[in-house]
Amino acid sequence: MSADKTFYITTPIYYVNDKPHIGHAYTTIACDVMARFKRQDGYDVRFLSGTDEHGEKVAKSAAAAGKSVQAFCDENAQKFRDLVKTLNASNDDFIRTTEPRHITACQALWTTLEENGQIYLGNYAGWYSIRDEAFYGEDETRMEGAQRVGPTGAPVEWVQEPSYFFKLSEWGDKLLAYYDKHPDFILPHTRRNEVASFIRQGLTDLSVSRTSFDWGVPVPGNPNHVMYVWIDALTNYITALGYPDTEAALYRQFWPSAHHIIGKDILRFHAVYWPAFLMAAGLDVPERVFAHGWWTNEGQKISKSLGNVIDPLQLIETYGLDQTRYFLMREISFGGDGDFSPRAMVQRINSDLANDFGNLAQRILSMIAKNCGGVVPAPGPQTADDTTLLNAPLAALGDMRAAMDAQQIHFSLNRLFEVVGEANKYVDTQAPWALKKTDPARMESVLYTVAETVRRLAILAQPVMPGSMARMLDLVASAPGERSFAHVDGAFAIKPGTVLPAPQGIFPRYVEKASEPTA
């Protein structure tokens, strides 16, 4: 097993035949939040994202665009690199499956599987959907007019060709035994049950090569074949650690501490094929596969044909980056499906961020500016209420850690915002504006207590809203090197006498403009 404080987290690698949409942004942000959380908690973190560039679909899209496949991939991969940057994702690496390091890794894995007797040459015939990149059994297809379609409604065609097969049928019992022994390998648990029942129906050998197109990784020793997309795609997670050199520093440190965060539609590939490939190659199985749910747009399934695809860049432009990050992480429980609507977004921005969190900081820092000359006042003796509030962020951190270990990002945020609520209640009941006249020394204690609570809360909220929280921490003069979870502790509390910068609002209220685009 991996060393204690090591954490490897991956997004799926994104297909380059499409432009980035909310699904890509969602997974990337979730991974970034987890990566940042673990880094702030003292872990060595490796965070990987990238692009999936091979396969017939990409080759056809390039042809349709009148471009060479490589030029098409370069152009589109750049859009994903740009997206990751725009999202302020802190990934350590960005892998493209067309890179030489990846071709080497795929071919090495293939050769090992072949040497282990896990791959054989046979013939494949079946109903194939280019759009889904999947073969379907006869009973999974139906006629729609003159066209046969698969279960997703995508057209299928009869394909017969020589193909290499991976002996997936041998791995069913071993996979089930693995799930039993590692009950949290697949999360959420309902998803694990779905995967297990899929396996219990019986696994058939898996076609892992194609001769009908050539945009892929050549099969070692038989270049008429290219690897079929899943063996190629999944290997990216170890390519990026230096595989096939299993003695490489990154591989030794980060495999198998991997947490693969994916959409529910690609769970089977990650929870069945991937561990089977790895076991068959004598490699360790990752620690976690977590399948998140899907977003709908105002109750409707998102699809190009409906024209309701949500552009993440547009969201960020309209609502702000951290506001978008916060909304996507808070609005739905990670693992479940959820619905996007501008109304819900504005509600979160104005109520949670502007009214609750932003205003808490703003009103207390303005009072310090006005009544204490912008200098942190010295607190008097602590009351029970002061102690309770000051301890609340640390208590929340314990719960947040447990939640994040199970990828329950929304729960972690709920817990954090409970403390924001407690802090606002404290301000309301202590009423420092009234104390100004009756008991100025106590007013100073209250202002100090809230400013210090804001410091602690801002540290905790950084993984989700890194830019805004950096600004909030600047406002309470928190030293840049004292912003990790270890610094939530009272030993790093704001020092009385510290001169604070002029307070500035962090989260403006969102005011609908007359001609607002909806997303």
The nearest distance, CB 23 to ligand ME8, in angstroms, is: 2
- Smaller CB separation from ligand ME8, 332 or 404: 332
Q: Is residue 113 close enough to count as binding ligand ME8 by CB under 6 A?
A: no
Dist. CA 211–CA 163, nearest whole Å: 7
Q: Which two tokens stand for residue 37?
A: 């959380």
Neighbours of 100 (CB within 10 A): 7
**Which one of residues 7, 23, 386, 469 is an interface residue with ligand ME8 (CB under 6 A)?**
23
CB of 352 to ligand ME8, least distance (A): 22
Q: Which of 8, 12, 166, 206 binds ligand ME8 (CB under 6 A)?
A: 12
Closest to 57 (Cα-Cα) out of 130, 126, 128: 130
What minimum distance in Å lies between the beta carbon of 262 and ligand ME8?
5
Alpha-carbon separation of residue 413 from 33, 136, 261, 263, 335 (angstroms)? 11, 41, 19, 21, 15
Candidate list 8, 171, 295, 326; residue touching ligand ME8; CB under 6 A: 295
Contacts 24+ apart (CB under 8 A), 107-113: 107/217, 107/218, 107/220, 108/243, 108/244, 109/231, 109/235, 109/238, 109/243, 109/244, 109/277, 109/281, 110/219, 110/220, 110/227, 110/231, 111/220, 112/244, 112/281, 112/282, 113/166, 113/277, 113/280, 113/281
Name the residue with the smallest CB distance to ligand ME8: 263
- The Cα 352–Cα 82 span in angstroms is 29
Closest approach, Cβ 152 to ligand ME8, in A, equals 13
List alpha helices for 372-509, DSSP H: 384-405, 409-430, 432-438, 440-461, 466-475
Nearer to ligand ME8, 48 or 451 (CB): 48
- Name the one range near ligand ME8 by CB under 6 A: 7-15, 343-351, 378-386, 491-499: 7-15
Q: Smallest distance from the beta carbon of 52 to ligand ME8, in angstroms?
A: 4
User: Kind and range of the H or E element at 49?
Assistant: strand 44-52
What residues from 322 to 381 belong to the interface with ligand ME8 (CB under 6 A)?
Answer: none
Q: Does residue 26 touch ligand ME8 according to CB under 6 A?
A: yes
Please state the closest distance from residue 83 (CB atom) to ligand ME8, in A.
Answer: 11
In the bound complex, what is the minimum distance in angstroms from residue 55's beta carbon to ligand ME8?
A: 9
Report how many residues bind ligand ME8 under the rule CB under 6 A: 19
**Around Cβ 309, how many Cβ atoms within 10 Å?**
16
Residue 24 sits in the site that holds ligand ME8 (CB under 6 A): yes
Piece in contact with ligand ME8 (CB under 6 A), picked from 8-16, 157-165, 460-468, 474-482: 8-16
Q: What is the DSSP string of 475-505?
A: HTT--TTS-SGGGGSGGGPPPTTPBPPPP--
* 48 touches 85 (CB < 8 A): no
Q: How far is the CB of 142 from ligand ME8 (least distance, A)?
A: 24
Is 412 within 8 Å of 460 (Cβ atoms)?
Answer: no
Of 49-78, which residues contact ligand ME8 (CB under 6 A)? 52
Report, in Å, the least distance between residue 234 CB and ligand ME8: 5
Query: Should residue 294 be labelled a site residue for ligand ME8 when binding is judged by CB under 6 A?
Result: yes
Residues 228-287 binding ligand ME8 (CB under 6 A) are: 233-234, 262-263, 265-266
Name the residue nearer to ligand ME8 (CB basis): 236 or 478: 236
Which residues lie near ligand ME8 (CB under 6 A)? Answer: 12-15, 22-24, 26-27, 52, 233-234, 262-263, 265-266, 294-295, 302
